[in-house]
Amino acid sequence: MPGQLPRNPPPQRLTASCILFVLSARRGLRSFRAACKSLGEKRSEAIAEAAEAQAARVFLEAAGLQKEEAAASVRWFLENLRRSSTADWRKVFKNWVQRRGKGEPVQYILGSWPFHPLPMELLVRPPVLIPRPETEELVDRIIKHYGNCHPRRLVDLGSGSGAIVLSLLHAFPMATAVAVDPSEDAVALTHANAARCGVENRLEVRHASSKDWASMSSRAFDLIVSNPPYIPSHEIPGLQVDVREFEDHGALDGGPDGLSVIAEVLRSARRVGLPGARIYLEVHHTHPALFERSDEESHSSLFASMEGLDLLDTEMHTPCMRRLWTA
């Protein structure tokens, strides 16, 4: 889940930035045209690439992105441009640069992104949450915990792109799974990614909240996993702009203390988990301490939902605050 990145230039730099923008945009355009021309003339690919990269970086920096962010975006853009066989690459590239300049996440612009437990990239589409590196860590941890003794039936509550459930199906080839999400966009993307990963025959995708799904399901799961919306509502306005403006708030906002959906997920887990089932959750960095102070009235709904969970083996994974993507 997202960390905060200082993104916008401080106000005192604004005038200087505007002047710089005009100057550098003109310079950038010239280099961009030069890059196109040099490609047209079939000059060395390395020179063309360097010129494109410089042009795009100038645009992106002028649009307010930090130097290293702009450089990282350009790297991903070029890599994808090289892989795509589009004839009209100049238009595509320019469109990407413009969208990135407005703060759109690189992942949405490119349309697919690696999630390292999987050998293929996952499709990513707005506004479904972009899978994060800390969730890769959660998946790694689960796979390591199971070792050679794999789970048989698992459920992912809040599947989003399908990153978690698809990675687990890939790691546990004899397992079957259910993916549950109340967002139509997420359900469609989980389906599309399941087909891409070739595991659709082992996955049921359900369009429902975890509560509604669990109320109609039987006690049949030995692994329950969830990366629910867990950011406390008051933190949402302070999130970096590409998270706040582009990703579904229903995937981020966990209510006043970030625990609303977590409590629901725990109640659902209690309902569908077999004795000895394991539950893995990604939670906010403030949550593990709250779970320990289980007598506090302010979190009574959470603690009520934990009753009976001693039958299950619960593990929380707290993400470190990280960038969404790195150079």
Ligand X SMILES: C[S@@+](CC[C@H](N)C(=O)[O-])C[C@H]1O[C@@H](n2cnc3c(N)ncnc32)[C@H](O)[C@@H]1O
182 touching ligand X, by CB under 6 A: yes
Burial of 44 from C-beta contacts in 10 A (0-12 / 13-18 / 19+): exposed
In the list 17, 73, 167, 209, the residue contacting ligand X (rule: CB under 6 A) is 209
**Run of H or E residues at 205:** strand 203-207
In the list 131, 151, 258, 319, the residue contacting ligand X (rule: CB under 6 A) is 131
Q: Which of 236, 217, 96 is nearest to 155 (CA)?
A: 217
For ligand X, the closer of residues 28 and 160 by Cβ is 160
Beta carbons of 168 and 144 less than 8 angstroms apart: no
**In angstroms, rounded to a whole number, what is the distance separating the alpha carbons of residues 294 and 304?**
9
For ligand X, the closer of residues 31 and 227 by Cβ is 227
For ligand X, the closer of residues 38 and 190 by Cβ is 190
For ligand X, the closer of residues 106 and 164 by Cβ is 164
Helices (H), 208-296: 210-215, 241-244, 260-272, 287-292
136 touching ligand X, by CB under 6 A: no
For ligand X, the closer of residues 47 and 304 by Cβ is 304
Beta carbons of 168 and 222 less than 8 angstroms apart: no
Axis-axis angle for helices 89-101, 67-83 (nearest 10): 150
**Whole-number minimum distance, CB 164 to ligand X, in Å?**
5
181 touching ligand X, by CB under 6 A: yes
210 touching ligand X, by CB under 6 A: yes
**In angstroms, rounded to a whole number, what is the distance separating the alpha carbons of residues 150 and 171?**
9
Q: What's the full length of the chain, in residues?
A: 327
Interaction mask 100-129, ligand X, x per CB under 6 A: -----------------------------x
183 touching ligand X, by CB under 6 A: yes
157 touching ligand X, by CB under 6 A: yes
Chain contacts with ligand X (rule: CB under 6 A): 1, 129, 131, 135, 157-161, 163-164, 180-183, 186, 209-210, 227-229, 250-251, 261, 264
